[in-house]
Amino acid sequence: MTDAAPVIARGLVKRYGDIVAVAGVDLTVEPGDVFGYLGPNGAGKTTSLRMMLGLIRPTAGSAKLFGRDPIVDGVKALEGVAGFVEGPAFYPYLSGRRNLQLLADYDEPNSSSLIEEVLETVELRDRAKDRVGGYSHGMRQRLGIAAALLRQPRLLLLDEPATGLDPAGMRDMRDLIRRLAGEGLTIMLSSHLLYEVEELCNRVAIIRKGSIVYEGQLGDLLATATTSYRLKTRDPERARTICLNQSGVENVTIEGDELRFSADEDAVAALSVALGQARVAITQLVAEVASLEELFLGMTGGESSDHDRQAVAS
């Protein structure tokens, strides 16, 4: 095994005729990362992950896993790597355990104890004898992770593992991913919803229309992003005047006794001081959760992220 980074994508492109599914992706996943690959539906996440896993051939560029290219080095590149794209597939009429038995490596002498271990890890041991057809969506996703863990990977690539889960299922998934990360696995997971993964990921890449528009710490991104706020005060009219005069506080509107505006962290800090100095009592100051969509707006200067895409001129 080499010491190269778990995932290095350089100039990854995938075209389907005139459609550019992935327009040139560069990203690096470092050892121990829980790396969020974020972007709206149709942005190119699944296609990128397929190329990383060697399931499809890039039109241009390359993806390397621990320094090995799945197209050049074949299955050898997938040593220590596991995952799924667009949801794991199982035989619905067989039990969870039987499905794992079919996937397990028969040459591996400890495969049955490994199966029990991975069932335990994903908390499915109680239900392992039941048919997969009767599993909830969350249980199926967890079984998918169990199947991946059979390969005893150092890198897990998961395509939207939390999408479509109810809040309890999402919490279980987050706990599981945290646990796996705690055991030293490097994890790259995709999502089209920021809130699903924001507590989980130490680093993110945001893909939009096939191109990476941000790669780095999620915290840094959120701190610089303009956030919408709702403000309730004892004196909304005076608060409004102060807001309008406060640099960095924008899009100020008033509805009844509630003000709305957008601001970055520094501007909202200065505003709260200004309101205090003017003796305008704040009763509520609430930041709206920044959605991916809003982050895109901030990053792309107001151009909306619709889903149409055009062939890149080459």
Which residues from 47-76 bind ligand ADP, rule CB under 6 A?
47
- Amino acid residing at 300: T
Question: Contact with Mg ion (CB under 5 A): which of 43, 46, 68, 97?
Answer: 46
**Cβ closest to Mg ion, residue 99 vs residue 190:** 190
- Determine contact, residues 90/133, Cβ cutoff 8 Å: no
Residue with tokens 């190269």: 4
**Cβ closest to Mg ion, residue 85 vs residue 104:** 85
Tokens read off for 199: 């507590």
**Cβ closest to Mg ion, residue 22 vs residue 243:** 22
Per-residue x/- marks for ligand ADP, 7-46, CB under 6 A? ---------x--x-x-----------------x-xxxxxx
Tokens read off for 169: 């299922």
CA distance 21 to 14: 6
- Determine contact, residues 119/100, Cβ cutoff 8 Å: yes
Burial class (CB in 10 A: 0-12, 13-18, 19+), 71: middle
**Cβ closest to ligand ADP, residue 237 vs residue 303:** 303
- Determine contact, residues 140/88, Cβ cutoff 8 Å: yes
Q: How far apart are the first and last CA of the chain?
A: 37
CA distance 47 to 7: 15
Examine residue 48 and tell whether it contacts Mg ion (CB under 5 A).
no
* Site residue total, Mg ion (CB under 5 A): 2
**Cβ closest to Mg ion, residue 45 vs residue 97:** 45
**Cβ closest to Mg ion, residue 56 vs residue 94:** 56
* Sequence-ordered alpha helix ranges (H) in 157-291: 167-182, 194-197, 218-224, 236-245, 265-277
**In angstroms, what is the minimal distance from the CB of 249 to Mg ion?**
37
Q: Which stretch binds Mg ion (CB under 5 A): 41-49, 199-207, 236-244, 300-308?
A: 41-49
**In angstroms, what is the minimal distance from the CB of 34 to Mg ion?**
19
Residues contributing to the site for ligand ADP (CB under 6 A): 16, 19, 21, 39, 41-47, 309
Residues contributing to the site for Mg ion (CB under 5 A): 45-46
